[in-house]
Chains A and B, each alone.
Chain A
Amino acid sequence: MKAFLSLNGVRKEFAGSVAVEGFTLDVTEGEFVSFLGPSGCGKTTTLRMVAGFEVPTTGRITLAGEDITYAKPNQRNVGMVFQSYALFPNMTVAHNVAFGLRVRKEQAAARDERVAQLLELIHLPDKGDAYPHQLSGGQQQRVALARALAIRPKVLLLDEPLSALDAKIRDELRYEIRRIQQELNITTIYVTHDQEEALALSDRVVVMSRGRIEQVGPPFEVYNNPATAFVASFVGQLNRLSAVVTNSASGTVRVGDSEVRTTSPVDAPGGSEVFLMLRPEELTLDDQADNVLTGKVDTVTFLGSIVRVQVAVNGGRLTADLFNERLLRLPVAGESTLISFPAHACWVMSRESH
């Protein structure tokens, strides 16, 4: 597919320190892409370069075939939604939504129609005459979304739009954003440091760390086949056990006294110390899978739909997430247990890279 928005070798320095570097990404039309990464990794800076609030130190940005690297923010036709909503407090909801259309000198009739249409889209058709301070946070953010969409932007940019909201509203609005995005088929970049949000919403996730892209891919791919140690530990939870390589070619390592089989060759010589990484949900407290370890139950936490069990094993501690069911026998702290996992769930990492 042809790139609609593309960033090419983008780099941004602030007074000598590098905020973003080597950022190359092609986004296709109608795609929903999330930037995911820890605080300070350069997500906002990258988004702001697309919006035009920052100018790249080097590199190019093109949008719909046009080089916008140095274009002014008010000439890009880009919709922006901020964490703090940033509604104009002196204007009603309708005037907020109409702001961009007024600036564009659109005819009053067409403008009013567009505003009504957008208020309908965000399910606030009756709030046109309300002022921002009369709305809840969730409603304000909906209005901010409508305001950004009113100008029919080429791309919609959202910078942690939900982080100021309560958990419940956050979930609700998350799906609302996705629904609207798909309804309008608008190219969207969504910045977040919440992995659940990124995984739930996106067509593709861009995982960033220290100003660089670590991995780009669909959520399922990024979660299940992390490209780097950073991605593996940042996206989702990960257990880490000390292990020693016994056979590099066949991918076998030893944890404590037990041999553990993996599915791919290990990139380290035999006898070297490595880490064995495992996702909590791929562990079971039985001996049914390829690899079996013995351990002692440490803590059991009932979380509703899942039961989190910590097991001390030779070489470290494992957290296992079991699905709740009525007939489940809850493990008891202190008892010894078997813990098993399939060969394909294993991921071996050299110690230096961590």
Chain B
Amino acid sequence: MTISTAPVQADAEVLPVEPPAGGNRLFAWLVVAAGAVYFLLPLVTTGYWSLRAVKDTFGFEAYRRVFADPAFVRSFSESVVNAIAAIVLSLLIIVPTAYWVTLRLPRLRPVVEFITLLPFVIPAVVLVFGLIRMYGRPPLLLTRTYDSSRVLLVCAYAALSFPYMYRSVDNGLRAMDVRTLTEAAQSLGASWATILRRVIFPNLRVALLSGALLTFAIVIGELTVALFLAQQTFGPFMANLTRSKVYEPAAMALVAFAITWAALGLIAFLTRPRHKVTR
């Protein structure tokens, strides 16, 4: 008997254990389906409305009108410029900070991480009130003109991007051996500026892109801060349109949605695991 039991035991170890299938799997699918309906239904409805601008037919009239509206083009391009400025500002602040923390102050990492997470905790309304109270008064008076308010808006957006940017950059830095690369560059004669420019930034390209695209997706349709700073960007424009029109806002919402997803898709594409040639 002992002879026959041995191989059976060995087999049992090798075979993968089947999960208790059936009920569990069905439930999982139900959850997925419910989630899909919850997210997709509004989208489908919006899509439906966006195509009904001409009575009794489906068509892209609403989209045509949106794109033909100079206010759309103006506000949208203003938002794009703001987003790019915010991204650049955010990068210039976050990359050296994250680099220095990784290299010299690893113990401060949790503190810095917490600080960069503050925009998640502080509602945008509170943030913008704080900004106006702080920078709208002498000696700065940044809220006096449209352009100076715009500077403030870009700064606020940069702050809003910190959680995403810091996370991306920090992940990127963790993926490379920052300390040794820095030391290698130093021993070859490089200065800090050279190291950042020639070694750190280029190796963070993918991380920076994903941080930048996330920032872009958030900033492009941002409403609260822009509204309180009296900026005529894409967010307020869209909100305004909702009050007077029916089909165009639906079309525009879908456009904004598409842009966001394009940004996310691009992140996924750029950060996809590459086939690595090794050995």
Contacts and interface: CB of A to CB of B under 8 A. Distances in A.
B278 A86 contact: no
A53 interface: yes
Given A74-B189, A103-B194, A86 B277 contact: no
Interface string B182-216: 01111111110010001100110100000000000
A242 interface: no
A86 B180 contact: yes
B276 interface: yes
B99 to A, nearest CB: 15
B177 interface: yes
A42 interface: no
Nearest to B192: A74
A78 B187 contact: yes
B108 interface: no
Given A78-B187, A82-B184, A84-B177, A89 B203 contact: yes
Chain B interface size, as a band, is: 20 to 34
A144 B164 CA distance: 35
A61 to B, nearest CB: 15
A204 interface: no
Nearest to B188: A100
B246 interface: no
Contacts of A100: 188-189
B180 A74 contact: no
A293 interface: no
B222 to A, nearest CB: 33
User: Interface centre among A74, A89, A100, A144, by most B CB within 10 Å?
Assistant: A74
A342 interface: no
B183 A53 contact: yes
Interface of B: 176-177, 180-181, 183-191, 194, 198-199, 202-203, 205, 276-279
Interface of A: 51-53, 72-80, 82, 84, 86-90, 99-100, 103-104, 133-134, 136-137, 144, 147-148, 151
9 contacts: A73-B187, A75-B189, A80-B187, A88-B199, A89-B176, A100-B188, A103-B188, A103-B189, A104-B189
